[in-house]
Structures are given as C-alpha cells and as structure tokens.
Amino acid sequence: MSPAVPPASASAPEPAVLQPLLPSDPSAIAGYRLLGRLGAGGMGVVYLGRTDSGELAAVKVTHADHADQPDFRARFRREVEAARRVSSPWAVPVTGADPDAPEPWMATAFVPGPSLGEAVTAHGPLPERSVRILGGALARALAAVHAAGLVHRDVKPGNVLLAVDGPRLIDFGIARTTGETALTSTGMVVGTPGFLAPEQAEARAAEIGPPSDVFALGCLLAHAATGRPPFGTGAVDALLYRTVHDEPDLDGIPEALLPLVTACLAKDPAERPTAAEIAARLTEDTPGSAADWLPAPVVRTIAERSAAMLALPEIDATRPGASAPDGRPAPSRRKFLLASGGAVLAAGGGIGAWATLRDDGTGRKATPPPKKRRWVIGVHADLTGPAEDIGRAQERGARLAVEQFNARKDKPFTLELKVSDDGGDKNKALAAARVLTGDPDVLGVLGPTSDYTGLAALPAYDEALVPLITVSAGLNLLSNAPGGQGLSVLQACPQHAIAGTYLAYYVLTKSRSVRPGILQERTDDTYAWQYTGGANFGFRQGKVTPLPRVVPGTTTDYKRVLGAMMADGMDAYVHCGLTPSAVLAARALDELGFTGLKVTGQHVFEPRFLAEAGDAAEGWVLGAPVVDATTVKAASPFVAAHRKRYGTAPAFYTGESFDLVTLLAQELAKAAKAGKRPDRRTLAPLLRKAGHQGIMGGYVFDPETGQLRTGVVGTFMYVVENGRYKALDFAPAGPPKNRRT
C-alpha cells in the first residue's frame, strides 16, 4: 500500500476575487480592520485586513473548533514561529499573530500579485531571464529558511507570489525544524505531489531536509520554464511513483538553465546543490523596484489588481479620528500603495484577491433588512452537460423527497429546493457551488454529479461547512480525515478504489479465474488508476496474481493489446477506463473470441456503451453505485410517485438521491422539533452519525471521514443482455472463502 498523502490544508487556496464579509465574520482582529474575505478552507478563513496606518495584510484566522484541539494549536504556533524566524526580502514577513487567542490568528504582509501557478496557467511559461531571477530570489529565500534551521517542505507554484519587485515565498504551515519528525505521522507524505522530493514521496522522514526544498525548487523552475510539472500530472500514486523512479521531463528548459535544474532534481539528496550555491550560480541581478523582470501580461495583471486595491474604502473611514502615532492624520491607502510601488506586500497563504467593495461609508458592505428565514435544500448538478441524464435524475429524486416532506401534515416547516447547474464544467463548478453556499438559508446540498466538478467546488463547501452529499462522485479526494478537505462531505457511494476491489471480488466469486487481466486506460488517469489499484488489491486478497497492462488514452489497436494478454494466459478481463476505450475493448475481445468474464466500472455504465459496442457488449458485467428502483419492492410507492409526477419510471441515481435528501430533511425536522433552527456548519457530523435506511437500501457513514462504511456494499452489478442492462445483485464485500480454482 502506498503512504498516505494528506490534503494540502496548510496551503491556502488559489487566488480568488475578494468576497464580502459574511454576517458571522468579525469586523476587526486585534489592530486589523477586516475589509473582506480572501479565501477559506477547512481550517479557517483568510481576510484582507488593514491597519490604521494603511498597511494591508492577509489575516489567517482558524476555526474555533480546530483551536480546541491541542495538537492543532501546537501546529499553528509552530507555523507562526517558523515564519518569524525567516528573514529575507523574498519571504513573506509576519506582521502580527496570537496563537493563544480563542481563534488563533496570524497576519502577514500582502501583495496584489498572482501566484506563479496562476501566472503560468494564464500566460504560459516565463522567459529565461524571468526564470533566472525567479530562481535566484527563491534560492535566497530558501537559504534564509535553511539558515534558520527550517525546511519549508512545500515549495510549489501556488506558494510563490509575483510582484513587480520580485517573487515572495509564502506559507510556512508545514515547515519543520531540520530533523524534526515527532509531529509527522508514520508513513505520511507531506507536501504537494509533483513538487516534492523522492524522500518525501516515500515518507522517509529522517531524510527530509534542506535538499528536499532544493528538489522542489528544481520542479518549480522546470514548471516556470516549460509550463508543465517535470513529473507530469494525474493520480497521486502515479506522481509519487514517477518522482521516485522516473527521470523528469525537462524538454523545453533553456540550455543555460538545464544543468542547474538537472542537478536540483538528483534523486540522491547528497548530489543536489545547496540553496546558497544555486543563488550564487544564478548571478542575474535581482529586480529591485523595476517590473521588467516579468513579461508584460503578468505586469498588467499586477497593475490591474493594484488599481483595484485603490478602490477600497479610505483608511480614515476605518475608525473615526484614526491618526498616525505622531498625531497627524493617517496616510490614505492610495498614497501608501503608490509610494510603495503597489507591490511591496506579500499575501500569506498564497492568496491574491482584488475587487471593489461597495460600502455604506463605514467600509462594511451595507446589510439589508433581515428577511424571514427559509428552509432550503440545494442541488448542485450537471443539468446541461455530459452527465445531464444523471444530474436530472438526481434533481428529480431531490424534488420528490421535498414534495413528500411538504405533504406531511405534521411538518415543522416547509422545505424549498434550490438548484444550481455547473454544466459538467469544472471551471464553472466553484461558481455554481457559491450560488448555494452564498445563500445562508441553504442548509445542505445534494451533489455534485461528477468527480472533477465536485473537486473543483469543494473549497466553497469547505469554507461554508455546508453538508454536501454525493451519490455519484467517487473520487477519493472528496472526503478525507478531519483537518483536510471535504470536512462536510457525505460520500454515499463507494470510492473508485473500493469499487475496483468489489469488481475483483465479483470475478473471483463468479468465475474460476487464475489469471485475470487488468487494463488501465489513461484518458482519465485518476479514475483508472484508482480502479486498477482496487482491483489489484482485491485479487491479491483472493490469492490470485493479476496480469496488468497500462495503455495511453490514444490507443486504438485494442486487438493487438488484448491478444497479447490472452497469449499470456488472461482468462478474465477487468477494464479500468472510460466508455470509448471500453467499446474498443469489447469489439476486440469479441473478434478474438474471448470467452472469459468481462467486467468494468461506473464510468462505463451508461447508454452510450450499449449503443456504440452493440452486439459486442453482450455478456459484459458492469458495476455501479446505483440500484434500479423498479427492482426494489420497498421502492414501489416511490416508483409510482415518479411515474405520476414525470410520466416515466425513475432513472438510475433518482432513488438514491431521494433517500439522501430524505435523510437531510429528517435531521432538519429533528432540530426544528427541539425548537431551534440548526446551524448548517454543525449538521455534517450529525448526518454522518445518523445513517439511514432508505427505500434503496441502508447508508452507514464513517463519522470521521464521511465515506460510506467499508463493508457496506454499494456496488451493484448489471449484465448486458439483449442490448439492455439487466440487474444482478450487489458485488460481494470480500473474496470468496475456500475458493476452488
């Protein structure tokens, strides 16, 4: 098993537009007047703050429930101490902190500039001179980190901000004293896959030191020069493996920089140069106050965001009579920004956020008169994109659950449904989520429909701690242990790796296979990798060694690939990939006359596979986290209600959506009967503990992670018969006992 990788909770989100303060937000922290939200995550919120003298700062405030945990407070105190120990013009300075406050906070200087990751994504690779200056400044920053006896451990594009006077290294949330391992769990990979050293990838804690930061710096410079990470993208396990075993992809790096970057990426820490040596080798002058070290498009981005900062409320509106220490009126923010070149401050947590706030003369956004509170359940779905059939089914299930609740004579309130469509586009998912989380009356959300829209939307749900219940998104990153992302997620379907394990158990139970083939098709690397890993694990649990193959997503000659697998003894076949490749595999196996069991998973379970594979699909067995409601006796009244409401039998995923919205409605009703309206931020733990026996079956969740309990089977098997999916039964939850081969 691979080592665990914690979510990068210490790292802040990517840059975003400044959001207004919520009614629950404070107006000030210590000496900082809060102007708006820069971002938020499971740990807390980062605000844009301003002092009486006009300085802007990023103020990170932790949630009180985390602050009550001694180990969390210790980590936060260590972060503050680490940041304060680093003295470099290229590292963000701490301007204030109180780790012992009821809600610990830390303020760092602020710069209105994009992160390196944002700049490269928006404008492409940096020119050679920019990369040299970037590398020299960051090497000096790391030299200061290492001189302070620290290791940063998360040097990545999102943790570097670009300003006209040079870059800034930020975020010391997971920095450690050299040699310190006590607060790191055994086998825990800490950092960002793709930008960490081999010793970090293999969780060799005793070997993690300054050379680890140098390796990460090499990855960062390669990314800046080429626009891509040197070890590619995709599944976490794949990235970790490539980092340890594969050579980096350095094509496109300027010839003059190639030897240095290559040296930084040496697998052996002892062979890497020190940060001070890198700084000496990159002799390009530092940029000083000039902006010509960056390409013009990046400079324009900085200028636009600096100008937007000038539209914030004037400093003398912060507090009546505010003045400088010598009694003179405090300088305006306009003078402060212009005098400083508009880019002398660096944002803690990697956040840049710039927008005009409309205010009522006090700097706070005007608060409308209070409205009567509603009881609203949200649906975040793909209603107009590639998974619209599933999204529409989920919306219908939710709507029927709300209508059934409202038909009760004893209902304590009337439920409403609010729907937000992301079109299956991960670039629109976050905005779709904020439509729901931005409405304080939305108490819980069903969705999203798909893996990657779910992952893209997660920051909004983490920020608001709104319960998010998904019946179709099986990506493992959607739910994790406390302190990571997915703090309020209930994943009411098996994760893809677990579903892959169930497929293997099914093959072992239903056949005498001794040489099952597993093909990983890499169009959707994360999904396919997780199914492959799960299937491998399941077969080995059954004492069977599978025959693996990995093919690029562009592969079309499946007859050659599968013919070779058959020649090697393949007697059953597990397809870990998407529908187009499954169609090619079905046709190839049909032409080859393969008679063994053929199975595949959730992302192929769709009408398209039947239509495009035709007769070649006959006999294939598919697993999906959904049951046909028309085959479930307990669901008969629901099926009848659906026919009456929509004129058809319910589609797949409708019944599960009905069940989970019913669970949410029941928990809301319990709170209402107790005479109070629930705080939506406290609902997820209650839902995770409650579980539910619905019309489609039982749902039991891990109270810590929100994942469907292991052993609670959630993969139902279907066989293709006469061009249709015929329901079989649930996949077994374990390998068969006393299996005869």
Task: Spell out the domain ranges in the chain.
Answer: 116-298, 375-494+633-710, 496-624+717-730
Q: Evaluate whether 375-494+633-710 and 496-624+717-730 have a shared fold.
A: yes
Q: Does domain 496-624+717-730 have CATH number 1.10.40.30?
A: no
pLDDT tier for residue 57 given thresholds of 50, 70 and 90: confident
Task: Please say whether the dihedral angle defined by the alpha carbons of residues 666, 672, 674 and 678, taken in this order, is positive or negative.
Answer: positive
Query: How far separated are the first and last CA of the chain, in Å rounded?
Result: 27
Helix 496-510 with 525-541: angle, nearest 10 deg: 40
pLDDT of residue 551: 92
CATH number among 3.40.50.2300, 1.20.1050.40, 1.10.510.10, 2.160.10.10, domain 116-298: 1.10.510.10
Q: Tell me if 518 sits within 8 A of 549, measured CB to CB.
A: yes
3-state secondary structure 74-87: HHHHHHHHHHHHCC
The 10s digit of each residue's pLDDT in 12-32 is 334 445 778 887 788 888 888
Joined tokens for residue 114: 């994009």
The 10s digit of each residue's pLDDT in 210-229 is 999 999 999 999 999 999 99
Identity at 710, one-letter amino acid code: T
pLDDT of residue 373: 79
352/349 Cα distance (integer angstroms): 9
3-state secondary structure 501-523: HHHHHHHHHHCCCCCEEEEEEHH
Q: Tell me if 517 sits within 8 A of 546, measured CB to CB.
A: yes
pLDDT tier for residue 67 given thresholds of 50, 70 and 90: low
Joined tokens for residue 406: 């409202």
Continuous segment of H or E residues that includes residue 560 = helix 558-567
Phi, psi (rounded to 5 degrees) for 88: -160, 140
pLDDT of residue 65: 58
> Residue 106 forms beta bridges with which residues?
60, 97
DSSP-assigned letters across all residues of 389-449 = HHHHHHHHHHHHHHHHHHT-TT-SS-EEEEEEE-TT-HHHHHHHHHHHHTSTTEEEEE--S
Least Cα distance to 610 among 730, 728, 449, 718 occurs for: 718
Topology of the domain comprising 375-494+633-710: Rossmann fold (3.40.50)
Least Cα distance to 520 among 544, 539, 547, 548 occurs for: 548
The 10s digit of each residue's pLDDT in 455-489 is 899 888 988 889 999 999 998 878 754 445 688 99
Q: Backbone dihedral region of 466: left (phi > 0), alpha (psi from -120 to 50 degrees) or beta? A: beta
Task: Determine whether 71 is an active site residue.
Answer: no
Helices (H), 165-209: 198-201
448: cis peptide before it, omega within 30°?
A: yes
520/528 Cα distance (integer angstroms): 6
Choosing from 154, 165, 382, 425, the catalytic residue is 154
pLDDT of residue 350: 31
